[in-house]
Structure 1
Amino acid sequence: MKKYLLAGFLAGNMFLLHSCATNPVTGKRDVMFMSENQEIAMGQETDPQVVAQFGLYEDPAMQRFINEKGQQMAAVSHRSHLKYEFKVVDSPVINAFAVPGGYVYFTRGIMAHFNNEAQFAGVLGHEIGHITARHSAKQQSKSILAQAGLIVGMVVSPQFAQFGETASQGLGLLFLKFGRDDERESDKLGVQYSTQIGYDAKEMADFFTTLQRQQEGSGQAIPDFLSTHPNPGDRYNTVNQLAAEEKQKQNQTNLQVNRNSYLKLIDGLVYGEDPKQGFVENQVFYHPVLKFQFPIPAAWGYMNSPQQVQMAPKDGKAMMMLTLAPGKTLEEAGQQVLKNYQLELVESKQVTVNSLPALAMVADQKQEQGVIRTLTYLIQFGGNIYHIMGISAANDFNNYAPQFTSTMQNFKELTDQAKLNKKPDRVRIKTVAQASTLSQALRSFNMPDSKFNELAILNGMQLTDKLEKGTLIKVVEQ
């Protein structure tokens, strides 16, 4: 036995020796379990999943802007030979992320919080830096393509990750956390690349401050590129210093900020949840386009996407999800669900849910950790079959079954005209009519006092900041 262990150890070390690759940025040798071709293939596989998960934001001018700036910056990067793609995805979450092979995504939520092109360019360079320095590939190599903690793991225990149809190796890359050194390296590359294409990289430091204020004010999760070890204050100072050094190094004398042109670009941008994708009010989920509603259990979190709605309690011991089910009949859909999730049927029965035909099933899946029990309702409505599944360990099932059942049996047609016709909030760009403070300007545009702090952060300003006549600012209106 010892002989075989020793042979395996030696083989493993030989594998490590042959798995080193030269980092394009540092020139040093990194342990890497994937080739560049594998990186590219992973990006190509992940991209359609990302687009399906979030959807592309429907604004041709904005998509053209991110692609043009991205291609310009990619051309001066350390891996200019890659075929890059840049996209704005339709999510209110404030985030930007990159996957191996040259794919970069910005949410509309983060686009709303930039206040000039230079801030955008700094973060764009930061994300390209993760690709050029192969950070995602290194992280993936360290985890050896681990299966746990993928997209469903954002709201529930990883043991349930397999039940989310979007829980895949590719999407797991979106949520890798980079270490202190990787983030600092990407900050440095963001400064370098944005300066090279003519932007003032100091603005990226100001944007980090905006993000920190936003997180402190709302309690929302910090974006990946901010949720790392470097102290925000130190990071601000470091990026400012790097920007000054890079400006001198490149002998740049006319670096751009381009505030007004950027603000005009985002005029009309959807802000927060888009009702047409579904929204939650008072723990009830409404979908005005598909015209249905259902309650979310009290104190449960939720995550909505074009493909599915996921819900979970804070303890992570259960989850529910709603998706569209394949199949023309309830029975056909039921068989497909059992097959797709490798479930063993315990019992099933025909039921009605608020006069809608439905099929209820209890089914189990045996795992190494124990038995998982599921309650599924398949509900026929509006030409679709809706699949709502509740999942927990078999030992916990009786504790969560009442909450599963309450949500499923209260699925019904949405008829409330106020909910059906709900319009999204949008970023609107206004011109300050006379010299004033930001708070005075917001009041002149009839913004409610309760929104002042949020709008100050959105504008990257303090309420006491003095504005000149003709200054453009953001407000939020329908």
Structure 2
Amino acid sequence: MKRLLTCSVAMAAILSFNSCATNPVTGKRDINFVSEEQEVAMGLQADPEIVAQYGLVENPTLQRFIQEKGQQMAAISHRSNLKYEFKIVDSPVLNAFAVPGGYVYFTRGIMAHFNSEAQFAGVLGHEIGHITARHSAQQQSKSTLTQVLLMGGMIASPRLAQFGNELSQGAGLLFLKFGRDDERQSDELGVEYSTKIGYDASHMADFFQTLQRQTQQSGQEEIPTFLSSHPNPGDRYNTVHQLADQWKQKTNSATLKEGRNSYLRMLEGLIYGEDPKQGFVENSIFYHPELKFQFPIPTGWQHQNSPQQVQMAPQDGKALMFLRLAQGTSLEAAAQKMLTDNQLQAVESKQVTVNGLPALAVISQQAPQQQQQQQAQQQQAAPIQALSYFIQYGGNIYNLTGVTSTTDFNTYFQTFSTVAQNFRQLTDQEKLNRKPEVVRIKTVKTGAPLSQVLRTYNVPDKRLEEMAILNGMQLTDRVEANTLIKVIEK
């Protein structure tokens, strides 16, 4: 269950009159209330939570590759003194992100879309650049100065996103959105670092086109996303190419490599898209083959799945729904635990059955003290009200909760109820035995346009553009014999 985590971030920093520090990259003095020791502490706190949130990809070859290249690049970076960690997390979303203190994460989704070691290295350098230039620390310092709560990327409104202690402040850092100047600086550092370890950084620019095409094809922006708050893709493409040419002149360009075939071969067998065993959505129904349950996703709502919860919300962000495992040995204990953790008070509670399963339905509101705190922070925003179902099934207690403002509760009540009351056992054998799609590397036998080549591998017409993006090509591009390409198979 791959969740779209939503929580606010408010890092406390001690204000002092001597709060300037030399930026390791620029050499200039920056206002910064976060010390290097605090950055390291943030990373140490965030890392286990990020791993728990996503899980790690079980691919020793790729995990070894990112560690080797990451450590090689860290050694020539502006902050080689940090202890860096590089990991590939189990998410289909195209994303890479860094946490202060030296922690860098790539999703298997973005790994599948790289088409060379050089593309990978450019993005790796970009993420290391966020750490070396202390962008997260600067963001936190600006937050302290303006006393503004930074809100994470989310599918629900920031106010509803605060429902539940889903992440500590440390892990919440991964949702910080950097400004365009920070992104441009990280692009520059990505070119510099990748060139210094022997890669042709012009391929980094090419990958931006893949990201832009994938985002356009999906019809919506993934969250968190590598493109968020980034410069215009066209300008970025040209700028990175110019920077790459400048660095080529500083080095022996004849030795700079692309590493296309070597990279593609490492992708063989990598899971592509949603991993069915962790849950998947089809025709607005969420199925979980391993835990053997299903429930509907409200029409038009966005959703995200993580190992810890499934989260759903309408596009206007006025409501939020999630399913997660509840804590407690009984329905009543599980309900009380959830209410206590979230500072809620039960308004109504009753024993019910959900498709033959014992359950407890609870309507709750924010406790008065919590309401006052929220109103002070959110300028008299309406307090939160929730409908929760606690359902006993398969040795677990599942918590399906819908939350919105008290003013909108009646509007969303039926939607919340319908989702919870349609939770049921999954018995469809086709869904229970669903296999994941994986990346397969093929050697083109006869030169032809990419569209024709893909059809020889039985790629359906409706997925031709998707496969073109995956390969970083246009369907009209001619592919010569003996070229390696990626296709998706079960």
Deviation at 1:229, TM superposition (A): 5.1
Residue aligning to 2:33: 33
Residue aligning to 1:461: 473
On the 8 A contact 1:147/1:169 being kept in 2, the answer is no
On the 8 A contact 1:195/1:201 being kept in 2, the answer is yes
Residue aligning to 1:441: 453
On the 8 A contact 2:143/2:150 being kept in 1, the answer is no
Segments of 5+ residues of structure 2 without an aligned counterpart are 1-13, 376-380
Distance 1:466 1:164 in 2: 52
Distance 1:20 1:347 in 2: 53
Deviation at 1:435, TM superposition (A): 1.5
Q: What are the equivalent positions in structure 2 for 1:38-437 lying under 5 Å apart?
A: 38-144=38-144, 147=149, 149-150=151-152, 154-221=154-221, 224-228=225-229, 230-365=231-366, 366=368, 367=371, 368=375, 369-437=381-449
Deviation at 1:147, TM superposition (A): 4.5
Q: For 1:21-73, what per-residue CA distance to the aligned partner results, in whole angstroms no more than 9, with x for missing partners?
A: 10000000111111000000001111111111111111111111111110010
Secondary structure of the structure 1 residue equivalent to 2:94: coil
Secondary structure of the structure 2 residue equivalent to 1:403: helix
On the 8 A contact 2:45/2:171 being kept in 1, the answer is no
Give the count of matched residue pairs. Answer: 463
Secondary structure of the structure 2 residue equivalent to 1:310: strand
Distance 2:220 2:265 in 1: 27
Secondary structure of the structure 2 residue equivalent to 1:253: helix
Deviation at 1:240, TM superposition (A): 1.1
Distance 2:229 2:321 in 1: 30
Q: For 1:284-328, what per-residue CA distance to the aligned partner results, in whole angstroms no more than 9, with x for missing partners?
A: 111000000011111111111100011111221111111101111
Deviation at 1:98, TM superposition (A): 0.4
Distance 2:269 2:430 in 1: 22
On the 8 A contact 1:93/1:109 being kept in 2, the answer is yes
Distance 2:219 2:170 in 1: 28
Distance 2:261 2:220 in 1: 28
Question: Are residues 146 and 106 of structure 1, via their aligned partners in 2, closer, same or farther at CA, if it must alter by over 3 Å?
Answer: farther
Deviation at 1:472, TM superposition (A): 0.5
Secondary structure of the structure 2 residue equivalent to 1:154: coil
Residue identity opposite 1:123 in structure 2: V
Secondary structure of the structure 1 residue equivalent to 2:390: strand
Greater CA drift, 164-173 or 441-450: 164-173
On the 8 A contact 2:87/2:104 being kept in 1, the answer is yes
Identity of aligned residues (%): 67
TM-score for the superposition, normalised by structure 2: 0.92
On the 8 A contact 2:440/2:488 being kept in 1, the answer is yes
The structure whose RCO (Cα within 8 Å, separation 6+) is larger is 2
Greater CA drift, 111-120 or 272-281: 272-281
Residue aligning to 1:452: 464
Secondary structure of the structure 1 residue equivalent to 2:281: strand
Deviation at 1:230, TM superposition (A): 2.5
Matched, 1:472 2:484: yes
Distance 2:91 2:247 in 1: 33
Deviation at 1:224, TM superposition (A): 4.3
Residue identity opposite 2:337 in structure 1: Q
RMSD: 1.6
On the 8 A contact 1:183/1:225 being kept in 2, the answer is no
